[in-house]
């Protein structure tokens, strides 16, 4: 494999919670549809009745769809008899799809003919993902949807009649091969890569993962990956969980060995057993892996350092020129102490005062501190500022709070109820993201909220310093406790 050398020009970035900016027009779906429908108003330039034969349909404002596509989606046809009511119904149909944040229309009459113009504004859409449909390839489902759903381009809005129509097409495909169940859709954060996706999944027959295969030898033979495959094998099949596994368990293996541009393809599934007599209850999952080139460390340039010189900072990095570029060793953050003094990162690294630079290498850290400020006397001290409220705008909830029914979101150090930010009687429900030194990943928090129990999790550390394995279980009041598996030889 070709060796490449990179020169790392290292910049410290502000350490802030990851968040997703709310796009223009991203109002709650009910509000957006209400506004869009109310904006689907006629701007008549002629007779107020709009009665006549539809002679022309045009559309303006869309950057994603052609006028012909919009006309087709409205349901109107050239040559049909129309009036103001039918024009309004067509505009409302477009608005309810969720594909447009604004829909206006205007018409004019010349003799018996009516000319109609739609004026639309595209709404934001998300990529469509198919979760657990091993009876079909993605290409087959995509083709079936395009044949039945006007305007489908591989994306969908977060809500509206359009997403329900896609679900109906998928259900029809399942019925054609004798598969029962219902098709649901939900908006989720993409496990690999930035942004959200509209995921469609089947709720019905349980398909179990029989085996997981990787297309690259490194993942195939790595002992750590093999040990963690128990998180997938024997569990219900979900491409989403396979993607999370690849991001959390497999990608770090490649980064640590210098494959900084490793890519994972969409997981493929086929039924276990003889192709002529397949086991329809179990699937073999194949994960395509493209490692890319292996990089070596070419050096680092530094700026803004005053306490440590370049040589000291390079020693903290633990990387030598020509050495494999360990992607897990290259991580630079600036801690805003006023905001993040109570963060999981600050506690894990034992940061005890304002730090302007942290250089991370595994469990080692180098810090650059500004001069200490003289503490104000108690009588001169300013009143303590109220805690900063968390803003969950634009985030996808994990599920429903068992204590109050609110939505649960991911924060920096815990999975919290949205009502935890209320000024009066805040909800106290939370699932810590680290329990007894064991990180609790998002997919396990999802399972805990959905079913009340996680998979069997190892590497919890007891007070005596010994590792142990247990399930996390949650009761109706939202209390999270341990459930221990039977001991060897027990009942």
Are 35 and 52 within one domain?
yes
Task: Determine, yes or no, domain membership for 414.
Answer: yes
Residue 311 lies in a domain: yes
User: How do residues 69-84 score in pLDDT, each as one tens digit?
Assistant: 999 999 999 999 999 8
Looking at the structure, tell me whether residues 326 and 302 fall in a common domain. Answer: yes
* pLDDT score for 347: 58
Residue ending a domain, choose from 184, 205, 226:
205
Q: Does residue 271 contact residue 280 with C-beta atoms inside 8 Å? A: yes
Domain boundary among 142, 177, 205: 205
Q: Decide if pLDDT at 356 tops 80.
A: no
Cβ atoms of 460 and 449 closer than 8 Å: no
**Burial profile 460-491: b = 16 or more Cβ within 10 angstroms, e = fewer:** beeeeeeebebbbebeeebebeeeeeeeeeee
C-beta of residue 341 within 8 angstroms of C-beta of residue 15:
no
Based on the domain organization, do 118 and 128 belong to the same domain? no
Give yes or no: residues 132 and 187 share one domain: yes
Task: Answer yes or no: is 158 within a domain.
Answer: yes
Per-residue pLDDT of 374-426, as tens digits, reads: 545 555 555 555 667 788 887 888 888 998 888 999 988 899 998 888 888 88
Query: Is the CB of residue 198 less than 8 Å from the CB of residue 158?
Result: yes
Within a domain: 215 = no
Same domain, 135 and 110: no
What percentage of residues in the chain have a pLDDT greater than 90? Answer: 44
CB hemisphere CA count around 474 (13 angstroms): 23
Residues 140, 99 within the same domain: no
User: What is residue 59's predicted lDDT score, i.e. its pLDDT?
Assistant: 95
Do 75 and 159 fall within a single domain? Answer: no
Asked if residue 243 belongs to a domain, the reply is no
89: in domain: yes
How far CA 463 is from CA of 317, 344, 468, 470, in Å, comes to 32, 19, 11, 15
Enumerate long-range contacts of 238-241, CB under 8 Å, 24 or more apart. Answer: 238/131, 238/132, 238/201, 239/129, 239/130, 239/131, 239/132, 239/266, 239/267, 239/269, 239/285, 240/129, 240/131, 240/188, 240/191, 240/199, 240/201, 240/443, 241/443
Q: Are residues 437 and 477 in the same domain?
A: yes
Residue 166 lies in a domain: yes
Co-location of 117 and 33 in the same domain: yes
- How many independent structural domains does the chain possess? 4
The strand pairing partners of 432, in sequence order, are 414
> Would you mind telling me the total number of residues written for the chain in this entry?
491
What's the whole-number mean pLDDT along residues 151-175?
93
pTM over 0.75: no
Q: Mark whether 134 and 104 lie in a shared domain.
A: no
Q: Measure the CA–CA gap between 481 and 491, rounded to whole angstroms.
A: 21
Token readout for 141 is: 């489902």
Q: Which of 86, 106, 122 is the last residue of a domain?
A: 122
pLDDT digits (tens, 9 = 90+) for 256-315: 888 888 999 999 999 987 777 777 789 999 999 999 998 887 776 665 666 667 777 777
450/464 same-domain check: yes
pLDDT of residue 246: 93
CA of 431: how far to CAs of 300, 388, 419, 460, in Å?
A: 39, 20, 14, 15
Lowest mean pLDDT among 224-228, 276-280, 452-456: 276-280
Domain span at 167: 124-205
**What's the CA gap between 296 and 319, in Å, rounded?**
10
The CA-atom distances, in angstroms, between 341 and each of 39, 240, 350, 366, 419 are: 47, 34, 10, 17, 23
Of 201, 207, 232, the residue nearest 219 (C-alpha): 232
How far is Cα 424 from Cα 49, in angstroms, rounded to an integer? 54
Domain assignment present for residue 257? The answer is no
The band of 171, judged by pLDDT with boundaries at 50, 70 and 90, is very high
| Beta-carbon contacts of residue 155 (< 8 Å; ≥ 6 apart) | 125, 126, 127, 128, 198
On whether both 41 and 117 belong to a single domain, the answer is yes
**In terms of C-beta density within 10 A (0-12 exposed, 13-18 middle, 19 or more buried), how is residue 11 classed?**
exposed
User: Which CATH number belongs to the domain containing residue 81 in this structure?
Assistant: 3.10.20.310
């Amino acid at each position: 494999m070709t060796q490449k050398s990179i020169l790392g020009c290292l910049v410290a970035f502000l350490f802030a919670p990851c968040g997703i900016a709310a796009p223009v027009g991203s109002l709650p779906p009910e509000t957006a549809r209400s506004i869009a429908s109310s904006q689907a108003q006629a701007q008549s330039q002629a007779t107020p009745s709009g009665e006549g034969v539809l002679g022309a349909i045009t559309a303006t404002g869309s950057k994603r769809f052609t006028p012909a596509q919009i006309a087709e989606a409205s349901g109107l046809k050239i040559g049909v008899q129309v009036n103001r009511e039918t024009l309004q119904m067509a505009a409302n149909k477009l608005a309810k799809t969720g594909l447009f944040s604004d829909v206006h229309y205007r018409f004019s009459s010349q003799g018996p003919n009516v000319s109609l113009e739609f004026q639309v504004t595209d709404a934001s859409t998300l990529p469509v993902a198919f979760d657990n449909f091993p009876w079909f390839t993605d290409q087959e489902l995509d083709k079936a949807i395009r044949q039945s759903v006007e305007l489908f381009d591989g994306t969908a809005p977060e809500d509206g009649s359009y997403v329900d129509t896609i679900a109906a097409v998928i259900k029809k495909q399942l019925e054609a091969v004798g598969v029962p169940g219902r098709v649901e859709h939900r908006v989720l954060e993409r496990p690999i890569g930035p942004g959200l996706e509209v995921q469609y999944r089947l709720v019905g027959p349980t398909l179990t993962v029989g085996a997981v295969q990787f297309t690259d030898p490194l993942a195939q033979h790595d002992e750590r990956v093999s040990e963690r495959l128990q998180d997938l094998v024997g569990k219900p099949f979900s491409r989403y969980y396979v993607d999370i596994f690849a991001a959390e368990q497999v990608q770090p293996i490649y980064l640590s060995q210098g494959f900084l541009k490793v890519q994972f393809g969409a997981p493929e599934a086929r039924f276990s057993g003889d192709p002529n007599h397949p086991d329809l209850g179990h699937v073999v999952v194949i994960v395509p892996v493209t490692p890319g080139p292996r990089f070596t460390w070419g050096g680092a340039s530094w700026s803004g350092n005053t306490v440590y010189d370049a040589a000291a900072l390079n020693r903290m990095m633990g990387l030598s020129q020509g050495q494999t570029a360990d992607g897990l060793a290259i991580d630079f953050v600036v801690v805003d102490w006023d905001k993040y003094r109570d963060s999981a990162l600050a506690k894990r690294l034992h940061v005890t005062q304002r730090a302007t630079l942290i250089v991370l290498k595994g469990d080692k850290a180098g810090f650059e501190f500004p001069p200490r400020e003289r503490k104000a006397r108690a009588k001169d001290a300013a009143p303590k500022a109220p805690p900063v409220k968390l803003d969950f705008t634009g985030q996808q909830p994990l599920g429903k709070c068992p204590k109050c029914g609110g939505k649960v979101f991911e924060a920096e150090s815990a999975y919290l109820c949205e009502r935890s930010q209320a000024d009066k009687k805040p909800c106290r429900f939370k699932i810590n993201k680290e329990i007894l030194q064991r990180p609790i990943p998002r997919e396990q928090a999802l399972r805990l909220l959905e079913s009340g129990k996680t998979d069997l999790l190892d590497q919890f550390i007891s007070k005596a310093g010994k590792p142990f394995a247990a399930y996390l279980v949650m009761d109706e009041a939202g209390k999270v406790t341990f459930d221990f598996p039977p001991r060897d030889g027990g009942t």
